[in-house]
Chains A and B, each alone.
Chain A
Amino acid sequence: MGAARGKDLLGNDLTAEEVRLLAVWEQLKTLLDDDLPPSARAAVEEAVAALWQGVNDLALTDERPPV
């Protein structure tokens, strides 16, 4: 069960900042599918784990990061 496009989990419209945060989150996750060198791979995994706190706290998504 996820948020509808443009809404948070509670059905509220996203703020401009939340829209940008969610966009970064979606883009960041795609890097996990890339064949990165170990240094970049670890950095992306750390970043995904860290940014998940922001999108999760703000109820923008109910997904679990794969890290």
Chain B
Amino acid sequence: MTDGPYWNPKTETLSREDLQKLQGIRLSGLVERAWHTSAFHRRLMDEAGVKPADIQGFDDLRRLPFTTRDAWMDCQAEKPPYGDLLAQPRESAIRYHTTSGTSGRTPLRVLDGRADWKWIAECWCYGFHGFGIRPRDRVFFAFSYGTFIGFWGAHYGTEKMGCLVLPSGNMNTTQRVHLIDELQATVVCATPTYALRLAQEGASLGIDLAAGSVERLILSGEPAGSIPATKKMIEKQWGAKAADTAGMTEIGTIMMFECEHQPGGTHIIEDHFIEEVIDPATGEPVEYGERGERVVTSFGRGLIPLIRYRTRDLVIKAPASNCSCGRTWDLYDGGIRGRVDDMLLVRGTNVYPRAVEAIVREYPAVDEFQIHLYTADGIRDEIEVLCEVRQGYEGQWENIARRLCDDLSSNNEGLGFHVELVEAQSLPRFELKAKRVKDDRTVKGDR
């Protein structure tokens, strides 16, 4: 049984009816605990006129109020450092973490206890096992091991599975490439951006990673792990299969992963989470195949219960039958498709950075890029894509830039883009979440 495709065969293949029954039982228990132990949740439920006894099963989910990041931040500001969200005494916590801070907002602070950390690792195990990783693997973590929770849970998950874990928190990119090569890592965990950066470094060091020992990459931290052109580029440069995962500090772990069948989407870990997709404007649920905002309810975290948390992530849910792996867990088609608040309004056109990346990555000539917005003549929004060209493509650049310009324009309602060549190595590189949008406009539209 240990070498089968599922980490937990019992729940990964449950019928939809049984799955919702289990989710309902766990939801009822979660709400009961949260109401009695977390002042934050009791306040929200009281304001909504909901009592734990009202939540008897899955169908009662929508009676519960949404939780938002703003409410979480407000409670931490009012009662620093952790607010009144905690459902267990602070003394039961064994670790402190924060959100990454890449959004520029005040990071959220989170605490977890012993059982929480075992659960955080457990959810990662579903993903690692589901993508074919086994105890024989040597797993390299290109991760800084800081206050951002990132791959911490993945580290413990792979230790639990019995893999050999290769940490690299104290290393620079060059040292990491050397260690991957020297210790013959078979799995590399990194953000999509940093997986490309490592590959660039390998090429400059004369280390052929595509011919090396790495068989699989586990990507996380950015939507790019599910952008086909980006993933294809990563897989080509590493000579390995790449799988997307996604999580968030607010849940402490991943809630979705790509299985070995790679159907173009990521399975939702539905025995530990309820994932809803809603219209961000109305809060009403949307159907399979429609884009909307993820709302997550998490059963596993003890210190921080999370109930109907509006993530601001944009997703499209698809039925489990879209994948041939046998799991009954639904999918997010194309992974995380961006953020509700990522959208840029440029001369009346909605521009999504993820969609721009999907086009730019179709061009292997582009080594790195940045989306730059500025105000021209004091009044007009302009958008340009600054590109570093890969060695060997310099002579074709004019033609490539023209085609890229046309592609960007035709995929964005005819909006005029500029494509500009910049010096090699002049654009920023990232180890964690990339920030490829630089907005220098004097007035930033309706962001």
Contact = CB atoms under 8 A, between A and B. Distances in A.
B29 A45 contact: no
Interface string B288-318: 0000000000001010000000000000000
B114 A59 contact: no
A66 B226 CA distance: 38
A58 interface: yes
Contacts of B8: 57-58
Interface stretch (B116-124, B194-202, B358-366, B439-447): B116-124
B180 to A, nearest CB: 30
Nearest to A51: B118
Given A49-B118, A53-B118, A57-B8, A1 B113 contact: no
Contact of A67 (B10, B33, B92): B92
B11 A1 contact: no
A46 B114 contact: yes
B4 to A, nearest CB: 15
B384 interface: no
B28 A1 contact: yes
Q: How many interface residues does chain A have, given as a range?
A: 10 to 19
B22 interface: yes
B25 interface: yes
B115 A62 contact: no
A22 B230 CA distance: 46
Given A57-B10, A58-B10, A64-B302, A50 B25 contact: no
Given A53-B118, A62-B29, A9 B22 contact: yes
A23 B114 CA distance: 21
B119 A59 contact: no
A48 B14 CA distance: 26
B118 A10 contact: no
Contacts of B25: 1, 9, 62
A59 B122 contact: no
Given A10-B18, A58-B10, A67 B115 contact: yes
A6 interface: no
A57 to B, nearest CB: 5
Contacts, number: 53
Interface string A32-67: 000000000000011011101100111100111101
B271 interface: yes
Contacts of A48: 114-115
Nearest to A53: B122
B114 A49 contact: yes
A58 B272 CA distance: 11
A63 B119 CA distance: 14
Nearest to A52: B115
Contact of B118 (A52, A59, A62, A63): A52
A10 B20 CA distance: 10
Interface string A1-25: 1000000011000000000000000
Contact of A59 (B11, B28, B92, B113): B11
A64 B11 contact: no
A9 B28 CA distance: 13
A9 B10 CA distance: 12
B118 A50 contact: yes
13 contacts: A10-B21, A45-B114, A46-B114, A49-B113, A49-B118, A52-B119, A56-B300, A57-B8, A62-B25, A62-B26, A64-B29, A64-B33, A64-B302
Interface of B: 8, 10-11, 14, 18, 21-22, 25-26, 28-29, 33, 92, 113-115, 117-119, 122, 271, 300, 302
8 tightest A-B contacts by CB?
A: A49-B114, A49-B115, A49-B118, A67-B114, A62-B29, A53-B122, A65-B115, A57-B8
